[in-house]
Amino acid sequence: MRVIICLIKLNKLKRGNFVDMTLKLRKATYHLWTFTISKLISTFGASVYSFGISFYILSITGSATSFATNMICSILPRALLAPFAGYAADKYSKKKIVILAQICSVLAVSGLLTVSISLGLSLVAIYITTCVLSITSLFSGVTFSSSIANLVNEERIQKAMSFNQMSISIATIGGPAVGGLLFGLVSMPTFLVIHIIGYAVAVVLEATMDFKLFTKKTEEVLEETKETMFQSIKAGIQYLKQHRILTVIVWVALVINFCFGAFQIGFSYILVEKLNVESTHFGLTEGALSVGMLGASIYFSMRKDLKYPLVTSKRGIFIMGIIMAAVALPLLVTFSYFGIISFYFVLMFAFGVTMIFVNTPIGVLMQKRIDEEYRGRVFGILETMAMALMPLGMVIFGFLYDIIPAQWVLLGSSSLLIIAVLYMLRPSIMKQAHPELGEKKPSVETIETVTS
Protein backbone atom coordinates (compact mmCIF):
# COMPACT_ATOMS: atom_id res chain seq x y z
CA MET A 1 0.00 0.00 0.00
CA ARG A 2 2.80 2.40 0.94
CA VAL A 3 4.56 1.57 -2.30
CA ILE A 4 1.44 2.46 -4.30
CA ILE A 5 1.05 5.76 -2.40
CA CYS A 6 4.71 6.63 -3.06
CA LEU A 7 4.31 5.86 -6.76
CA ILE A 8 1.21 8.09 -6.95
CA LYS A 9 3.07 10.94 -5.23
CA LEU A 10 6.06 10.48 -7.53
CA ASN A 11 3.80 10.54 -10.58
CA LYS A 12 2.13 13.75 -9.36
CA LEU A 13 5.56 15.30 -8.77
CA LYS A 14 6.69 14.41 -12.29
CA ARG A 15 3.46 15.83 -13.76
CA GLY A 16 3.95 18.99 -11.71
CA ASN A 17 7.52 19.40 -12.93
CA PHE A 18 6.42 18.80 -16.53
CA VAL A 19 3.67 21.45 -16.22
CA ASP A 20 6.13 23.92 -14.63
CA MET A 21 8.66 23.41 -17.42
CA THR A 22 5.96 23.76 -20.09
CA LEU A 23 4.84 27.07 -18.55
CA LYS A 24 8.44 28.27 -18.35
CA LEU A 25 9.04 27.44 -22.00
CA ARG A 26 5.86 29.29 -22.99
CA LYS A 27 7.03 32.27 -20.96
CA ALA A 28 10.46 32.01 -22.62
CA THR A 29 8.78 32.16 -26.04
CA TYR A 30 6.89 35.26 -24.91
CA HIS A 31 10.17 36.76 -23.67
CA LEU A 32 11.83 36.07 -27.01
CA TRP A 33 9.29 38.18 -28.89
CA THR A 34 8.80 40.80 -26.19
CA PHE A 35 12.56 41.28 -25.88
CA THR A 36 12.87 41.62 -29.67
CA ILE A 37 10.04 44.16 -29.96
CA SER A 38 11.29 46.16 -26.97
CA LYS A 39 14.85 46.14 -28.31
CA LEU A 40 13.63 47.14 -31.76
CA ILE A 41 11.69 50.10 -30.33
CA SER A 42 14.69 51.22 -28.27
CA THR A 43 17.34 50.85 -30.99
CA PHE A 44 15.09 52.21 -33.74
CA GLY A 45 14.15 55.17 -31.54
CA ALA A 46 17.79 55.85 -30.72
CA SER A 47 18.73 55.68 -34.42
CA VAL A 48 15.89 58.01 -35.47
CA TYR A 49 16.67 60.44 -32.62
CA SER A 50 20.40 60.45 -33.40
CA PHE A 51 19.85 61.15 -37.09
CA GLY A 52 17.11 63.74 -36.54
CA ILE A 53 18.94 65.65 -33.81
CA SER A 54 22.24 65.56 -35.73
CA PHE A 55 20.47 66.90 -38.81
CA TYR A 56 18.85 69.61 -36.66
CA ILE A 57 22.20 70.66 -35.17
CA LEU A 58 23.81 70.91 -38.60
CA SER A 59 20.84 72.79 -40.04
CA ILE A 60 20.79 75.49 -37.32
CA THR A 61 24.54 75.84 -36.74
CA GLY A 62 26.29 74.47 -39.82
CA SER A 63 29.10 73.63 -37.40
CA ALA A 64 31.00 70.34 -37.49
CA THR A 65 32.24 71.13 -33.97
CA SER A 66 28.70 71.25 -32.61
CA PHE A 67 27.94 67.97 -34.36
CA ALA A 68 31.09 66.37 -32.93
CA THR A 69 30.24 67.64 -29.44
CA ASN A 70 26.91 65.86 -29.60
CA MET A 71 28.73 62.66 -30.66
CA ILE A 72 31.07 63.02 -27.68
CA CYS A 73 28.05 63.42 -25.39
CA SER A 74 26.81 60.11 -26.73
CA ILE A 75 30.09 58.14 -26.49
CA LEU A 76 31.88 59.50 -23.40
CA PRO A 77 29.22 58.63 -20.77
CA ARG A 78 29.10 55.04 -22.04
CA ALA A 79 32.87 54.66 -21.82
CA LEU A 80 33.04 56.08 -18.29
CA LEU A 81 29.96 54.51 -16.69
CA ALA A 82 29.84 51.02 -18.24
CA PRO A 83 31.55 49.30 -15.25
CA PHE A 84 28.99 50.87 -12.92
CA ALA A 85 26.16 49.69 -15.18
CA GLY A 86 27.60 46.18 -14.99
CA TYR A 87 27.84 46.39 -11.20
CA ALA A 88 24.21 47.53 -10.96
CA ALA A 89 23.06 44.70 -13.25
CA ASP A 90 24.71 42.11 -10.99
CA LYS A 91 23.78 43.74 -7.69
CA TYR A 92 20.21 44.94 -8.12
CA SER A 93 16.97 43.83 -9.76
CA LYS A 94 17.52 43.64 -13.52
CA LYS A 95 13.85 44.29 -14.21
CA LYS A 96 13.83 47.46 -12.11
CA ILE A 97 17.01 48.75 -13.79
CA VAL A 98 15.64 48.22 -17.31
CA ILE A 99 12.27 49.81 -16.51
CA LEU A 100 13.85 52.71 -14.61
CA ALA A 101 16.24 53.34 -17.51
CA GLN A 102 13.35 53.49 -19.99
CA ILE A 103 11.35 55.79 -17.69
CA CYS A 104 14.37 58.10 -17.45
CA SER A 105 14.51 58.11 -21.27
CA VAL A 106 10.85 59.18 -21.35
CA LEU A 107 11.54 61.94 -18.81
CA ALA A 108 14.65 63.14 -20.68
CA VAL A 109 12.84 63.48 -24.02
CA SER A 110 9.83 65.01 -22.21
CA GLY A 111 12.18 67.57 -20.66
CA LEU A 112 13.59 68.43 -24.09
CA LEU A 113 10.03 68.72 -25.42
CA THR A 114 9.10 71.11 -22.60
CA VAL A 115 12.16 73.25 -23.29
CA SER A 116 11.46 73.34 -27.04
CA ILE A 117 7.86 74.50 -26.47
CA SER A 118 8.56 77.04 -23.75
CA LEU A 119 12.01 78.42 -24.60
CA GLY A 120 12.97 76.93 -27.93
CA LEU A 121 15.61 74.26 -28.49
CA SER A 122 19.15 75.11 -27.47
CA LEU A 123 22.38 73.21 -28.00
CA VAL A 124 22.89 72.90 -24.24
CA ALA A 125 19.48 71.24 -23.82
CA ILE A 126 20.24 68.85 -26.70
CA TYR A 127 23.66 67.95 -25.26
CA ILE A 128 22.19 67.24 -21.82
CA THR A 129 19.43 65.08 -23.31
CA THR A 130 21.96 63.17 -25.43
CA CYS A 131 24.06 62.48 -22.31
CA VAL A 132 21.04 61.25 -20.35
CA LEU A 133 19.84 59.02 -23.21
CA SER A 134 23.35 57.63 -23.60
CA ILE A 135 23.43 56.70 -19.90
CA THR A 136 19.94 55.17 -19.88
CA SER A 137 20.71 53.24 -23.06
CA LEU A 138 23.91 51.96 -21.45
CA PHE A 139 22.21 50.70 -18.28
CA SER A 140 19.36 49.16 -20.24
CA GLY A 141 21.68 47.56 -22.81
CA VAL A 142 24.19 46.07 -20.34
CA THR A 143 21.37 44.77 -18.11
CA PHE A 144 19.54 43.21 -21.05
CA SER A 145 22.78 41.64 -22.32
CA SER A 146 23.40 40.06 -18.92
CA SER A 147 19.76 38.88 -18.71
CA ILE A 148 19.35 36.95 -21.96
CA ALA A 149 20.27 33.61 -20.34
CA ASN A 150 17.69 34.37 -17.61
CA LEU A 151 14.90 35.26 -20.02
CA VAL A 152 15.11 32.26 -22.37
CA ASN A 153 16.20 28.65 -22.02
CA GLU A 154 19.74 27.70 -23.03
CA GLU A 155 18.63 26.14 -26.32
CA ARG A 156 17.26 29.49 -27.50
CA ILE A 157 20.11 31.80 -26.48
CA GLN A 158 21.48 31.83 -30.03
CA LYS A 159 18.00 32.70 -31.37
CA ALA A 160 17.69 35.54 -28.83
CA MET A 161 21.13 36.89 -29.77
CA SER A 162 20.17 36.69 -33.45
CA PHE A 163 16.92 38.55 -32.84
CA ASN A 164 18.90 41.20 -30.97
CA GLN A 165 21.18 41.64 -34.00
CA MET A 166 18.14 41.75 -36.28
CA SER A 167 16.72 44.63 -34.24
CA ILE A 168 19.99 46.53 -34.56
CA SER A 169 20.15 45.87 -38.31
CA ILE A 170 16.57 47.02 -38.92
CA ALA A 171 17.22 50.16 -36.85
CA THR A 172 20.42 50.85 -38.79
CA ILE A 173 18.62 50.49 -42.12
CA GLY A 174 15.38 52.28 -41.28
CA GLY A 175 16.46 54.73 -38.58
CA PRO A 176 18.13 57.35 -40.83
CA ALA A 177 15.37 57.06 -43.44
CA VAL A 178 12.57 57.52 -40.89
CA GLY A 179 14.55 60.21 -39.06
CA GLY A 180 15.02 62.19 -42.28
CA LEU A 181 11.35 61.73 -43.22
CA LEU A 182 10.08 62.89 -39.83
CA PHE A 183 12.48 65.82 -39.78
CA GLY A 184 11.10 66.99 -43.11
CA LEU A 185 7.40 66.33 -42.43
CA VAL A 186 6.74 67.12 -38.76
CA SER A 187 7.75 69.78 -36.25
CA MET A 188 10.41 69.10 -33.62
CA PRO A 189 7.80 68.84 -30.77
CA THR A 190 5.89 66.19 -32.76
CA PHE A 191 9.18 64.42 -33.47
CA LEU A 192 9.89 64.26 -29.72
CA VAL A 193 6.33 63.16 -28.83
CA ILE A 194 6.71 60.15 -31.15
CA HIS A 195 9.85 59.18 -29.23
CA ILE A 196 8.10 59.52 -25.88
CA ILE A 197 5.30 57.20 -27.04
CA GLY A 198 7.84 54.65 -28.29
CA TYR A 199 9.79 54.58 -25.02
CA ALA A 200 6.51 54.32 -23.05
CA VAL A 201 5.47 51.26 -25.07
CA ALA A 202 8.87 49.69 -24.32
CA VAL A 203 8.32 50.27 -20.59
CA VAL A 204 4.94 48.49 -20.71
CA LEU A 205 6.42 45.50 -22.56
CA GLU A 206 9.40 45.17 -20.21
CA ALA A 207 7.14 45.36 -17.15
CA THR A 208 5.55 42.04 -18.20
CA MET A 209 8.87 40.14 -18.36
CA ASP A 210 10.26 37.80 -15.70
CA PHE A 211 14.00 38.44 -15.45
CA LYS A 212 14.45 35.50 -13.05
CA LEU A 213 12.72 32.85 -15.15
CA PHE A 214 15.85 30.76 -15.74
CA THR A 215 18.04 32.15 -12.97
CA LYS A 216 20.60 29.80 -11.46
CA LYS A 217 21.43 31.96 -8.46
CA THR A 218 20.95 30.33 -5.08
CA GLU A 219 19.84 32.10 -1.95
CA GLU A 220 23.38 31.80 -0.61
CA VAL A 221 24.71 33.74 -3.58
CA LEU A 222 21.99 36.34 -3.32
CA GLU A 223 22.79 36.90 0.37
CA GLU A 224 26.56 36.97 -0.06
CA THR A 225 28.78 39.22 2.05
CA LYS A 226 28.26 42.88 1.32
CA GLU A 227 31.04 44.62 -0.60
CA THR A 228 31.55 48.13 -1.89
CA MET A 229 30.89 49.04 -5.49
CA PHE A 230 34.59 49.29 -6.34
CA GLN A 231 35.31 45.97 -4.62
CA SER A 232 32.54 44.40 -6.69
CA ILE A 233 33.92 45.84 -9.95
CA LYS A 234 37.41 44.65 -8.96
CA ALA A 235 35.96 41.18 -8.31
CA GLY A 236 34.53 41.24 -11.84
CA ILE A 237 37.97 42.05 -13.29
CA GLN A 238 39.51 39.29 -11.17
CA TYR A 239 36.87 36.84 -12.40
CA LEU A 240 37.74 37.77 -15.97
CA LYS A 241 41.44 37.16 -15.34
CA GLN A 242 40.74 33.72 -13.88
CA HIS A 243 38.95 32.55 -17.04
CA ARG A 244 41.45 32.52 -19.87
CA ILE A 245 38.96 32.00 -22.69
CA LEU A 246 36.88 34.99 -21.59
CA THR A 247 40.02 37.13 -21.27
CA VAL A 248 41.08 36.15 -24.79
CA ILE A 249 37.62 36.97 -26.15
CA VAL A 250 37.76 40.43 -24.55
CA TRP A 251 41.19 41.11 -26.08
CA VAL A 252 40.01 39.90 -29.47
CA ALA A 253 37.02 42.25 -29.22
CA LEU A 254 39.36 45.14 -28.39
CA VAL A 255 41.60 44.47 -31.39
CA ILE A 256 38.55 44.25 -33.69
CA ASN A 257 37.14 47.54 -32.37
CA PHE A 258 40.51 49.26 -32.74
CA CYS A 259 41.09 48.06 -36.32
CA PHE A 260 37.46 48.80 -37.18
CA GLY A 261 38.37 52.50 -36.87
CA ALA A 262 40.61 52.11 -39.94
CA PHE A 263 37.73 50.56 -41.85
CA GLN A 264 35.14 53.15 -40.81
CA ILE A 265 37.29 56.16 -41.68
CA GLY A 266 38.99 54.57 -44.69
CA PHE A 267 35.77 53.45 -46.37
CA SER A 268 34.24 56.96 -46.30
CA TYR A 269 37.54 58.65 -47.13
CA ILE A 270 38.29 56.44 -50.14
CA LEU A 271 34.80 56.55 -51.65
CA VAL A 272 34.15 60.27 -51.13
CA GLU A 273 37.59 61.85 -51.43
CA LYS A 274 39.55 59.44 -53.62
CA LEU A 275 36.92 57.90 -55.91
CA ASN A 276 34.39 60.80 -55.95
CA VAL A 277 31.37 58.56 -55.40
CA GLU A 278 28.04 60.42 -55.34
CA SER A 279 26.27 60.70 -51.96
CA THR A 280 23.28 58.61 -53.15
CA HIS A 281 25.50 55.75 -54.27
CA PHE A 282 27.59 56.06 -51.13
CA GLY A 283 24.44 55.63 -49.03
CA LEU A 284 23.51 52.60 -51.13
CA THR A 285 26.82 50.88 -50.35
CA GLU A 286 26.50 51.67 -46.63
CA GLY A 287 22.97 50.26 -46.63
CA ALA A 288 24.35 46.96 -47.96
CA LEU A 289 26.17 46.49 -44.64
CA SER A 290 22.91 46.49 -42.67
CA VAL A 291 21.20 44.25 -45.22
CA GLY A 292 24.02 41.73 -44.84
CA MET A 293 23.73 41.89 -41.05
CA LEU A 294 19.97 41.37 -41.25
CA GLY A 295 20.27 38.39 -43.59
CA ALA A 296 22.91 36.67 -41.44
CA SER A 297 20.87 37.32 -38.27
CA ILE A 298 17.83 35.66 -39.83
CA TYR A 299 20.03 32.69 -40.77
CA PHE A 300 21.31 32.28 -37.19
CA SER A 301 17.80 32.60 -35.77
CA MET A 302 16.65 29.59 -37.83
CA ARG A 303 19.62 27.23 -37.63
CA LYS A 304 20.64 24.96 -34.75
CA ASP A 305 23.26 26.02 -32.23
CA LEU A 306 26.84 26.14 -33.45
CA LYS A 307 28.93 23.26 -32.15
CA TYR A 308 32.18 25.24 -32.10
CA PRO A 309 31.23 28.95 -31.88
CA LEU A 310 34.77 30.24 -31.35
CA VAL A 311 35.96 28.42 -34.49
CA THR A 312 33.24 30.15 -36.51
CA SER A 313 34.17 33.54 -35.02
CA LYS A 314 37.86 32.99 -35.76
CA ARG A 315 37.13 32.27 -39.41
CA GLY A 316 34.81 35.27 -39.53
CA ILE A 317 37.50 37.61 -38.17
CA PHE A 318 40.00 36.25 -40.68
CA ILE A 319 37.54 36.96 -43.54
CA MET A 320 36.83 40.39 -42.02
CA GLY A 321 40.55 41.21 -42.29
CA ILE A 322 40.57 40.18 -45.95
CA ILE A 323 37.51 42.36 -46.68
CA MET A 324 39.16 45.33 -44.97
CA ALA A 325 42.19 44.92 -47.22
CA ALA A 326 39.92 44.59 -50.29
CA VAL A 327 38.49 48.08 -49.66
CA ALA A 328 41.79 49.43 -51.01
CA LEU A 329 41.62 47.42 -54.26
CA PRO A 330 40.05 50.20 -56.46
CA LEU A 331 43.01 52.40 -55.51
CA LEU A 332 45.39 49.81 -56.93
CA VAL A 333 43.36 48.57 -59.92
CA THR A 334 41.29 50.66 -62.33
CA PHE A 335 37.50 50.18 -62.07
CA SER A 336 34.64 51.78 -63.99
CA TYR A 337 32.26 53.92 -61.93
CA PHE A 338 29.56 51.21 -62.09
CA GLY A 339 32.21 48.64 -61.20
CA ILE A 340 33.20 50.68 -58.12
CA ILE A 341 29.62 50.90 -56.84
CA SER A 342 28.94 47.21 -57.51
CA PHE A 343 32.23 46.14 -55.93
CA TYR A 344 31.66 48.11 -52.71
CA PHE A 345 28.01 47.04 -52.49
CA VAL A 346 29.01 43.37 -52.56
CA LEU A 347 31.95 44.05 -50.23
CA MET A 348 29.80 45.82 -47.61
CA PHE A 349 27.12 43.14 -47.82
CA ALA A 350 29.79 40.49 -47.18
CA PHE A 351 31.21 42.56 -44.32
CA GLY A 352 27.75 42.77 -42.71
CA VAL A 353 27.32 39.00 -42.95
CA THR A 354 30.79 38.45 -41.51
CA MET A 355 30.12 40.77 -38.56
CA ILE A 356 27.19 38.60 -37.48
CA PHE A 357 29.27 35.43 -37.93
CA VAL A 358 31.77 36.99 -35.52
CA ASN A 359 29.47 38.67 -32.98
CA THR A 360 26.68 36.11 -32.55
CA PRO A 361 28.84 33.04 -31.76
CA ILE A 362 31.00 35.03 -29.34
CA GLY A 363 27.89 36.47 -27.68
CA VAL A 364 26.35 33.01 -27.26
CA LEU A 365 29.61 31.62 -25.88
CA MET A 366 29.85 34.43 -23.31
CA GLN A 367 26.23 33.99 -22.26
CA LYS A 368 26.86 30.32 -21.56
CA ARG A 369 30.35 30.59 -20.08
CA ILE A 370 30.01 33.55 -17.70
CA ASP A 371 28.51 32.82 -14.28
CA GLU A 372 25.25 34.68 -13.77
CA GLU A 373 26.45 36.66 -10.75
CA TYR A 374 29.37 38.14 -12.80
CA ARG A 375 27.70 38.54 -16.19
CA GLY A 376 26.77 42.20 -15.83
CA ARG A 377 30.24 43.26 -14.70
CA VAL A 378 31.98 41.37 -17.50
CA PHE A 379 29.72 42.94 -20.15
CA GLY A 380 30.23 46.33 -18.49
CA ILE A 381 34.02 45.99 -18.59
CA LEU A 382 33.86 44.91 -22.23
CA GLU A 383 31.65 47.91 -23.07
CA THR A 384 34.10 50.33 -21.43
CA MET A 385 37.17 48.96 -23.17
CA ALA A 386 35.44 48.79 -26.55
CA MET A 387 34.01 52.32 -26.32
CA ALA A 388 37.38 53.69 -25.18
CA LEU A 389 39.33 52.10 -28.03
CA MET A 390 36.96 53.04 -30.87
CA PRO A 391 37.51 56.83 -30.56
CA LEU A 392 41.24 56.22 -30.03
CA GLY A 393 41.38 54.11 -33.17
CA MET A 394 39.50 56.77 -35.15
CA VAL A 395 41.91 59.50 -34.01
CA ILE A 396 45.03 57.44 -34.79
CA PHE A 397 43.83 56.20 -38.17
CA GLY A 398 42.43 59.63 -39.06
CA PHE A 399 45.95 61.01 -38.54
CA LEU A 400 47.52 58.16 -40.54
CA TYR A 401 45.20 58.70 -43.50
CA ASP A 402 46.48 62.29 -43.73
CA ILE A 403 50.15 61.30 -43.98
CA ILE A 404 50.14 57.79 -45.53
CA PRO A 405 48.39 56.59 -48.72
CA ALA A 406 45.02 55.10 -47.79
CA GLN A 407 45.69 51.71 -49.35
CA TRP A 408 48.72 51.11 -47.11
CA VAL A 409 46.83 52.10 -43.97
CA LEU A 410 44.08 49.60 -44.79
CA LEU A 411 46.50 46.84 -45.75
CA GLY A 412 48.49 47.43 -42.56
CA SER A 413 45.45 47.44 -40.27
CA SER A 414 43.96 44.33 -41.90
CA SER A 415 47.32 42.54 -41.53
CA LEU A 416 47.40 43.56 -37.85
CA LEU A 417 43.91 42.14 -37.35
CA ILE A 418 44.71 38.83 -39.06
CA ILE A 419 48.05 38.34 -37.26
CA ALA A 420 46.50 39.24 -33.89
CA VAL A 421 43.60 36.80 -34.25
CA LEU A 422 45.87 34.00 -35.49
CA TYR A 423 48.01 34.47 -32.38
CA MET A 424 45.28 35.08 -29.79
CA LEU A 425 43.04 32.29 -31.11
CA ARG A 426 45.87 29.83 -31.72
CA PRO A 427 45.16 26.05 -31.64
CA SER A 428 46.01 25.68 -27.92
CA ILE A 429 43.40 28.34 -27.03
CA MET A 430 40.83 26.81 -29.36
CA LYS A 431 41.27 23.40 -27.68
CA GLN A 432 40.71 25.00 -24.27
CA ALA A 433 37.48 26.56 -25.53
CA HIS A 434 36.38 23.39 -27.32
CA PRO A 435 38.14 20.31 -25.87
CA GLU A 436 36.34 18.14 -28.45
CA LEU A 437 38.65 19.60 -31.12
CA GLY A 438 41.44 17.46 -29.72
CA GLU A 439 39.38 14.33 -30.25
CA LYS A 440 38.12 14.94 -33.79
CA LYS A 441 39.46 16.52 -36.92
CA PRO A 442 38.79 20.29 -36.69
CA SER A 443 38.39 20.73 -40.45
CA VAL A 444 35.43 18.34 -40.70
CA GLU A 445 33.73 19.69 -37.58
CA THR A 446 34.33 23.31 -38.55
CA ILE A 447 32.77 22.82 -41.98
CA GLU A 448 29.78 21.20 -40.28
CA THR A 449 29.25 24.22 -38.00
CA VAL A 450 29.20 26.66 -40.89
CA THR A 451 27.19 24.65 -43.40
CA SER A 452 24.68 22.74 -41.24
Q: List, for residues 232-261, the tens digit of each pLDDT value.
A: 888 888 888 888 888 888 888 888 888 887
Rounded to the nearest 10°, the torsion over CA 132, 138, 140, 145 is: 170
54 pLDDT tier (thresholds 50, 70, 90): confident
Task: Report the pLDDT value the prediction gives residue 146, as an integer from 0 to 100.
Answer: 83
Question: In this model, does residue 132 exceed pLDDT 80?
Answer: yes
Task: Report the pLDDT value the prediction gives residue 183, as an integer from 0 to 100.
Answer: 65
Share of the chain above pLDDT 70, in %: 86
What average pLDDT does range 314-330 have in this prediction? 92
451 pLDDT tier (thresholds 50, 70, 90): very low
CA neighbor of 299 nearest in space, from 169, 202, 191: 169
Q: Which domains does the chain have, with CATH numbers?
A: 30-215 (1.20.1250.20), 225-452 (1.20.1250.20)
Question: What are the backbone dihedrals phi and psi of residue 92, each rounded to the nearest 5 degrees, phi first?
Answer: -115, 175
379 pLDDT tier (thresholds 50, 70, 90): confident
Neighbours of 188 (CB within 10 A): 18
Question: Which residues, 6 or more positions from 252, have their beta carbon under 8 angstroms from its beta carbon?
Answer: 313, 317, 362, 420, 421, 424, 425
Rounded to the nearest 10°, the torsion over CA 19, 25, 27, 31 is: 170
